[in-house]
A and B are shown apart, each in its own frame.
Chain A
Amino acid sequence: MIRVSIKMAAAEMDKEDRISYLPRNVIDRILELLPVEDAARTSILSTKWRYIWAMLPNLVLDKPFCKKVAARSDCVFNAIVDKILLQHLGDVLKFDLDVSAVQCPDIDRWMLYVTRNGVKKLKLNMSKDSTFKVPSYIFNCPTLTKLKLFNCVFKPPKSFRGFPNLTTLYLEKVTFVSTTEIINVSLVNLTLMHCNGTQYLNIVSAGLKSLYYCESHCNLDLNCFINCKKLTYLYLEVLNYSTPAERLTLEKLLLSLTTLEKLTLCSQELELLSAGAVPKGLPFTLNCLWHLHLGVDLGQIGQTYYALELIKSFPNLSKLEIWVQGRDDIVEADLKYIDAQTCLDRPLNKLKDVTMHYFVGSKAELFFIKLLLARTPSLERMSIEPAGSLEEWNIAIELMRFPRASPKAELWYLTNVD
Chain B
Amino acid sequence: MSSTKLLTLKTSDGEEFKLDEAVAVKSQAIKNMVEDDCVSNAIPLPNVDSKTMTKVIEYWKKHSEEGVSKDQLNDFDKGFLEVHHSVLYDLLLAANYLNDKELVDVICQEVADRIKGKTPEEIRKEFDIKNDFTPEEEEKIRQENAWAFD
Report which A residues bind B (CB closer than 8 A).
2-3, 6, 9-10, 13, 15-20, 22-23, 25-26, 29-31, 33-38, 40-47, 49-50, 69, 76, 80, 83, 87, 416, 418
Contacts and interface: CB of A to CB of B under 8 A. Distances in A.
A372 to B, nearest CB: 21
B89 A19 contact: yes
B141 A50 contact: yes
Given A19-B127, A38-B116, A43 B145 contact: yes
A17 B138 contact: no
Nearest to B1: A380
30 contacts: A6-B82, A13-B84, A16-B86, A17-B129, A18-B85, A18-B86, A18-B89, A19-B85, A19-B89, A20-B127, A26-B92, A26-B93, A29-B108, A30-B115, A33-B105, A33-B109, A34-B115, A35-B116, A43-B141, A43-B145, A44-B120, A44-B138, A44-B142, A45-B123, A45-B124, A45-B129, A46-B130, A47-B132, A50-B141, A87-B145
Contacts of A416: 69
Given A16-B128, A40-B148, A47-B133, A9 B84 contact: yes
A46 B116 contact: no
* SS class, residues of chain B in contact with chain A: helix
Main secondary structure of the interface of A (DSSP, over half): helix
Given A29-B104, A29-B108, A38-B115, A17 B145 contact: no
Interface residues of B, number: 38
Closest 10 CB pairs of A and B: A40-B148, A33-B112, A37-B148, A29-B108, A15-B128, A19-B127, A17-B128, A80-B147, A30-B108, A44-B141
B112 A34 contact: yes
A20 B116 contact: no
Contact of B148 (A16, A25, A41, A76): A41
